[in-house]
A and B are shown apart, each in its own frame.
Chain A
Amino acid sequence: MSVKAKLHYFNGRGRMETIRWLLAVAGVEFEEYFFETREELIKLQQSGVLLFQQVPLVEIDGMNMVQTRAILNYIAAKHNLYGKHLKERALIDMYVEATMDLNDLVMCHPMQPPEGREKNLALIVDKATNRYFPAYEKVLKDHGQDYLVGNQFSRADVQVPETILMMEEMKPDILAKFPLLQGFKARISNNPTIKKFLQPGSQRKSEIEEKMIPQVMKIF
């Protein structure tokens, strides 16, 4: 099957990871071009394909798309992962926007100076455990369905598990008080395309290694 999308980013999670998840779940094959130096990014900026001089950049369906949310919105809508109507979309948007807030905190965490890391980690865990996860647990409890919105699989059911897994890397028992989220995570992880993406050797990226951080900061 021919490759349907090309991703331009550095070889790590960052803002591109959620896009990788969604493409994988949608069954869209993709190639990746990784920057290793600042010069490579500059070259791309000079080529004029980056509307705001920024990556992620995703070449898809004849378009050069930038801005993470625009890209995610496109993939979700095209692949029927965005609800059946405007109000379902609104709920999905609410849920995924919150995951992106939490992901941003996680993404910026390695950039914290060493002295601030423990406190920052505690803050992230606190937000997950007291703000975000209780909300999703309640959503699942209130409607009693398998999926977060509209009784069908949507991007919310991809982005929330993605965030859960990232949080579990920071604190393995983070779902201890959330039985429904535990069940949800297990169920979603068994979805065939997600299961495949979670296998070693997939295009899913690992947590950034400490030693890589200076190199990444130099690129950007």
Chain B
Amino acid sequence: MSGKPKLTYFNGRGRMESVRWLLAAAGVEFEEVFLETREQYLKLIQDGDLLFDQVPLVDIDGMKMVQTRAILSYIAGKHNLYGKDLKERALYIDTYVEGTMDLMQMILTLPFSLPEAKEKNLPLIIEKAKNRYFPAYEKVLKQHCQGFLVGNQLSWADVHLLEAILMVEEKDPTVLSEFPLLQGFKTRISNMPTIKKFLQPGSQRKPQPDDKYVATVMKILKEAMYYSI
């Protein structure tokens, strides 16, 4: 046993991408097992590996962890990315990551919606990013003035926000044009060594989903996306 966390998921972003980001930011090497067939997935269920028959699954420290937030909280807690006290954790980090999670969730479900819905939803997502989420984080950076969202060191919230910014920028490259502090934040956090490494080609970061990815996921899960991912 290598001792490295082992991630089981489809070969694409989905709900696992935030886990990859956080492990990478923490400088933790990890292995990946990609689900390619329904048989593999059913075997995982039969073997009792999936507590609620769902992936992401992360084998870490002797636990078979499921549920994305549980996994992320554990990694953040273990690797000193969760603030220094309860207030930093709950009032700030938890609150901020819930916002970025809501935003990224909209983007991650987009490829699985019907074409008409996709066309309608993308502008709505950009609008929410520009009018609800990014203004909130811009304000936090302005008031907090430390370069990080919380305290004076990198936390889960910073990693998650960077991930969200890059994801939205893939859809609209101008989205940060009215947010100078977020632009600075993006540059600064991207240049932190572990994150810079993760942003290089050849890292375990996954590309945007394509039709092949969507088809694979739907074939493996064979049910309505909302209920199963």
Contacts and interface: CB of A to CB of B under 8 A. Distances in A.
Interface of A: 51-53, 63, 65-71, 73-74, 77-78, 86-87, 89-91, 93-94, 97-98, 101, 105, 123, 127, 131-132, 135
B73 interface: yes
A94 B65 CA distance: 7
Given A86-B74, A93-B70, A97-B69, A65 B136 contact: no
Nearest to A92: B70
Interface string B208-229: 0000000000000000000100
Contacts of B102: 52
A131 B66 CA distance: 13
A67 B94 contact: yes
Interface stretch (B21-29, B83-91, B170-178, B186-194): B83-91
A93 B91 contact: no
Interface string B28-67: 0000000000000000000000011100000001010111
Contact of A77 (B53, B74, B86, B132): B86
B70 A94 contact: yes
Secondary structure at the B interface, as helix, strand, loop or mixed, is helix
A67 B136 CA distance: 13
A73 B207 CA distance: 32
Interface residues of B, number: 29
Contacts of A97: 67-70
A218 B63 CA distance: 45
Given A90-B70, A93-B74, A98-B52, 9 more contacts: A65-B95, A68-B98, A74-B90, A77-B86, A86-B77, A87-B63, A90-B74, A94-B70, A105-B227
A66 B67 CA distance: 21
B59 to A, nearest CB: 13
Contact of B91 (A65, A87, A89, A101): A65
A65 to B, nearest CB: 6
A94 B67 contact: yes
B73 A93 contact: yes
B78 interface: yes
B119 to A, nearest CB: 22
A70 B65 CA distance: 20
A53 B134 CA distance: 12
A86 B77 CA distance: 7
20 contacts: A51-B95, A53-B132, A63-B87, A67-B95, A67-B99, A70-B95, A71-B90, A74-B91, A77-B86, A78-B86, A86-B78, A87-B61, A90-B74, A93-B73, A94-B66, A97-B67, A97-B68, A105-B227, A127-B227, A132-B52
Q: Which 8 A-B pairs rank lowest in CB-CB distance, beginning with the nearest?
A: A93-B70, A74-B90, A70-B94, A67-B98, A97-B67, A70-B95, A90-B74, A94-B70
A90 B90 contact: no
Interface string B87-119: 101110011001100100000000000000000
Contacts of B133: 52
A112 B133 CA distance: 28
Secondary structure at the A interface, as helix, strand, loop or mixed, is helix
A98 B61 CA distance: 21
Counting chain A CB atoms within 10 Å of each CB, the highest count among B63, B73, B136 belongs to B73
Nearest to B133: A52
B98 A69 contact: yes
A127 B227 CA distance: 9
A77 B89 contact: yes
Counting chain A CB atoms within 10 Å of each CB, the highest count among B61, B78, B86, B90 belongs to B90
B73 A90 contact: yes
B77 A89 contact: yes
Contact of B51 (A63, A69, A87, A94): A94
A63 B69 contact: no
A90 B69 contact: no
A69 B86 contact: no
A31 B95 CA distance: 22
Nearest to B87: A63
Contacts of A91: 63
B52 A51 contact: no
Nearest to A66: B95
Contacts of A132: 52
